[in-house]
């Protein structure tokens, strides 16, 4: 098999996604785009469990009005 067909494995943007907290706006904003939508797993490089945790923290930050809501 040729090497250029192999897919590169993506790494998470931060070392431990479980440390994402809704109160830390700088980290939470790394996981949303300019419109305020949550970035998908293929862009963040997070596992399914980590992505669920990130999504929950982003939604909490929206509810507390720490970050802008989706328009």
pLDDT tens per residue across span 16-38:
777 889 999 999 999 999 999 99
pLDDT tens digits, one per residue of 52-63: 999 999 999 999
List the one residue out of 62, 46, 43, 64 whose CA is nearest residue 54: 46
> Is 0.75 topped by the overall pTM?
yes
Q: Length of the chain, please?
A: 71
Q: Name all domains of the chain by residue range, CATH numbers in brackets.
A: 7-63 (4.10.640.10)
The per-residue pLDDT for 32 is 93
Integer angstrom CA distances of residue 50 from 6, 34, 43, 56: 25, 21, 13, 10
Which tops the pLDDT comparison, 69 or 1?
A: 69
């Amino acid at each position: 098999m040729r090497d250029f067909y192999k897919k590169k494995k993506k790494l998470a943007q931060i070392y431990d996604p479980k440390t994402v907290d809704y109160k830390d706006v700088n980290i939470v904003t790394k996981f949303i785009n300019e419109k305020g939508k949550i970035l998908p797993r293929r862009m963040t490089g997070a596992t399914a469990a980590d992505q669920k945790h990130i999504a929950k923290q982003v939604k909490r930050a929206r509810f507390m009005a720490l970050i802008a809501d989706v328009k």
